[in-house]
Amino acid sequence: MKILFIGDIVARAGRDALANFLPEVSKQLSPDVVIVNGENAAHGIGINEKICKEFFDLKVDVITLGNHAWDQREVIPYIERELRLVRPINYPAATPGKGHYIHTLSDGRKIMVINAMARLFMDPLDDPFAAVDQIVRANPMGKSVNAIFLDFHGEATSEKMAMAHYLDGRVSAVIGTHTHIPTADAQILSGGTALQCDAGMTGDYNSVIGMKTETPIMRFTRKISMEKLSPADGEGTLCGVFVETDDKSGKATCIKPVRKGPRLLNT
């Protein structure tokens, strides 16, 4: 199975980059499934129904979220009825939405997409390791699904690497999001799980992680801020990861970073 994952879509610049570059990237890579992290898609914080529908119209199959999942309150009733919009699985059980989604391809192959949120330097949610372990045990690769993809949303590379090693051989890929910077560690672990600690953001890289630079600089240099963060609105770059898996075992056979746009080295 060919899996294309696009990292955090940040505001209008990110949405435009997705619309501009996804058709070309999809033509080059011919993915069977396209997954995007959309938790920053609405003006840099959260997502709404309108944007989700725009992504689905671009042939995105599944949208994952993160710590900004609920910043646009109108998403709460929508996530209850749209199963392709997946929030972190380790939110409390009563939280709206679901933490995983099984997507069925036209040929019958199935991929389970899981979203989890890390805890180090993040909100103190339930244990992500236990939550992911439980759903993976209930849906083993090679039996109920052909592949399992985890978007692990968190700050610390150590926690993301630990999760990948914990799941090595039991999931197809563990790809990190949240830091908005693509890491250079794309690899396949010894058990067959693909890892990259962060896919990077899809947005304007002439910025501070997608935001206009003035307010973040003031916060760092003066410890005060007179304004809210505002999304950078220059030309966006698409960042993501491409993973291929063996359909029988679900294990990864290839992982490559994907970058398309004006600011970063394209690959």
Cα angle 213-52-131, degrees, rounded to a multiple of 5: 90
| DSSP sequence for 200-213 | --BB-SSSBTTB-S
Q: What's the rounded Cα separation, in Å, for the pair 29 and 244?
A: 10
> Which backbone phi and psi does 163 adopt, to 5 degrees?
-60, -45
| Side chain identity, residue 19 | A
Residues identified as active-site: 68
Q: What is the DSSP string of the chain?
A: -EEEEE--B-HHHHHHHHHHHHHHHHHHH--SEEEEE-TTTTTTS---HHHHHHHHHTT--EEE--TTTTSSTTHHHHHHH-TTEE--TTS-TTSSS-SEEEEEPTTS-EEEEEEEE--TTS---S-HHHHHHHHHHHS-BTTTBSEEEEEEE-S-HHHHHHHHHHTBTTBSEEEEESS-S--S--EE-TTS-EEES----BB-SSSBTTB-SHHHHHHHHHS--SS---B--S--BEEEEEEEE-TTT--EEEEEEEEESSSSPP-
The amino acid present at 129, given as its one-letter code, is F
